[in-house]
Amino acid sequence: MAQPHYQNQFKAVLGAGAWPGTLNIELYGDNLADYRSLRVLSGLDEGERIEGAEPLRIRGFERDGRSFGGATAFKAEITRGGDEWIECAVLIPDLTRHTETAEVISPAFLREALPCEDGDEAVIRLS
């Protein structure tokens, strides 16, 4: 996440660099179905595609013989209470073990900006 190659691309998605970590949101029900549709748009799964979502490619790279994988980002906003929305993006790495967890990036440290702790509910909407 902190690699300059990634940060330059995150600036194009978020308008600023991303906090060097993700907020992981566990999904269920309709939210999980929508997330799986984003995975389809990312080319990771087969199935129905969600309408109106624009996939933004984050290119991988190699440095010093080490590979850093690519990802697909979707612009979004996140809130805990519905009053204040924070710009973010749902990031779906090409190689991930998270199939029921959304990885969210933002210029802000979301745990403090929302604020939230493990187990708290949050709402994400694509923008």
On whether residue 62 sits in a domain, the answer given is yes
Q: Which domain holds residue 121?
A: 14-126
- Written as six digits, the tokens of 108 are 């802000």
On whether residue 80 sits in a domain, the answer given is yes
On whether residue 6 sits in a domain, the answer given is no
The count of domains in the chain is 1
On whether residue 35 sits in a domain, the answer given is yes
pTM for the model stands at: 0.93
Q: List the CATH number of the domain containing 77.
A: 2.40.30.30
pLDDT digits (tens, 9 = 90+) for 12-23: 999 999 999 999
* CB of 89 closer than 8 Å to CB of 104: yes
Q: How much is the average pLDDT of 63-69?
A: 92
On whether residue 5 sits in a domain, the answer given is no
